[in-house]
Structure 1
Amino acid sequence: MQDHEEGIGTGGVEDAQTEANLRAFRAHWEACRDGQAVPRRAAIDPREITPLISNAFIAERVAPGVVRLRVAGLHLADLMGMEARGMPLGSFIAPDDRESFARHLVDLFDGPAILRMTLRSPRTLGRPALSGTLMMLPLRSDLGDVSRALGCLVSRGRIGRPVRRFEIARSETLPLSGAAPVGRARPLQAITGGARGGARSRAQLRVVT
């Protein structure tokens, strides 16, 4: 995982590592499916997503197109400049893109589908330019309904002065159909659409009760 004190132009090595971490993140979700289309929330093991634990979150659907963070990694707090748990995930999205984001969330839960977005946060006073990746993977609650999501939000570049919000540069969705083999990841089908803090060791999740 690259640190948010690094610049965006740090080269392809860190980007390659981030992609490897994202593949491993999704692979754990795939393994938890255990032959089902959508795994249960209880099957997710934080120990299996350690490289992205500070970027990870569990979101709960509270209305069509609206989710709130029940569990939030500390990188999300860095981006907000405050505790992120309990906040709507849309708080991280630029206002002009929130309607589009809400539609993607509907697809995520109603499809269900895997969602991945390429994000950008333009440079402003005290805020260097950021790029980012958002991945969301649907989960079933203890009641069996698809109303939870495992996600991660990775940013590249120095955060600067929060709050940081992102525009959607690209979106990708993969509808899920039926059961899937354990541990096998299928490629995303693209649909074009509208760093953490230094040497701190704060890789942990916080839970909303």
Structure 2
Amino acid sequence: MSENDKGLRAAVIALAGYRGGNGLAPLDAIEAYWREQLESRGVAPSRAELDPRGFSKALTNCFIAEAITPRHLRLRLTGQHLSEVMGMDMRGMPLSALILPDSRPHLEQLIAEALAGPARPTRINIFAPPRFGQPALYGGMVLLPLRNEPGAPQRMLGAFATVGKQGRAPRRFRILGAGAENRPAIAPGRPVLQVIEGGLSERV
């Protein structure tokens, strides 16, 4: 079995866990809060306008990042889950530290599009390949642009969640697919998998 086939098989198993346990629900919760703020204000919320009570059940999965270049984000505030998966305090680290080198150009492109384009969510499907002491781990991120504040760098509200056994830290991920289109929540028990180059993406 090729490495790509192993990756596909592991991602399918992980997605089955997502279906049963809804392990990526924090991404939906934080995106739903951001969308509510966008719709009520007519513009994306600023960092100062965020109310953690609106996504309290997903606080351990959220992060705040700021742009250090048009293609790179630095983590400023991070939830506990990110620190556990990486085995360190990620504050001050680039977001790309989560991503394997061969997927970092893709991440840079997604960041550039999210920062330059209209305010909309960017969903990223990620997969940590299995290694000794590290079982296959499926995950997801969402990047949500925040409104610029005078004198402050451009910022993003984000969320990170995984499905499966974490294994030995740190874990780093390959990007399987991403999109900035409107994304409805997955209906329980009815995921549809689309094979793409290097992995899977999910659709309803």
Question: Normalising TM by the smaller chain, what interval?
Answer: 0.7 to 0.9
Partner of 1:23: 28
Partner of 2:190: none
RMSD: 2.4
- The verdict on how the C-alpha distance between 1:104 and 1:11 changes in structure 2, with shifts beyond 3 A counting, is closer
Listed as ranges, the gaps of 5+ residues in structure 2 are 1-12, 185-193, 199-204
Report if aligned partners of 1:139, 1:146 keep a CA contact under 8 Å in 2. Answer: no
Residue 131 (structure 1) aligned with residue 138 (structure 2): yes
Report if aligned partners of 2:126, 2:175 keep a CA contact under 8 Å in 1. Answer: yes
Q: Aligned partners of 2:197 and 2:113: how far apart in 1?
A: 14
Listed as ranges, the gaps of 5+ residues in structure 1 are 1-6, 175-185, 195-209
The residue type paired with residue 166 of structure 2 is I
The residue type paired with residue 103 of structure 2 is D
- The verdict on how the C-alpha distance between 1:144 and 1:116 changes in structure 2, with shifts beyond 3 A counting, is farther
Which structure's relative contact order is higher, taking Cα pairs within 8 Å and 6+ residues apart?
1
Report if aligned partners of 1:32, 1:43 keep a CA contact under 8 Å in 2. Answer: no
1:11-32 deviation per Cα after TM superposition (whole angstroms, max 9, x unaligned) = 62312x634x433321211222
Partner of 2:68: 62
For 1:164, which of 165, 168, 171 is the aligned residue? Answer: 171
Report if aligned partners of 1:39, 1:140 keep a CA contact under 8 Å in 2. Answer: yes
Secondary structure of 1:171 counterpart: strand
Query: TM-score, normalized by length of structure 1?
Result: 0.75
- The verdict on how the C-alpha distance between 1:43 and 1:144 changes in structure 2, with shifts beyond 3 A counting, is farther
Residue 97 (structure 1) aligned with residue 100 (structure 2): no
> For this pair of structures, how many residues does the alignment match?
173
Identity %: 34
More helix as a share of residues: 2
Report if aligned partners of 2:27, 2:141 keep a CA contact under 8 Å in 1. Answer: no
Shift of 1:38: 2.0
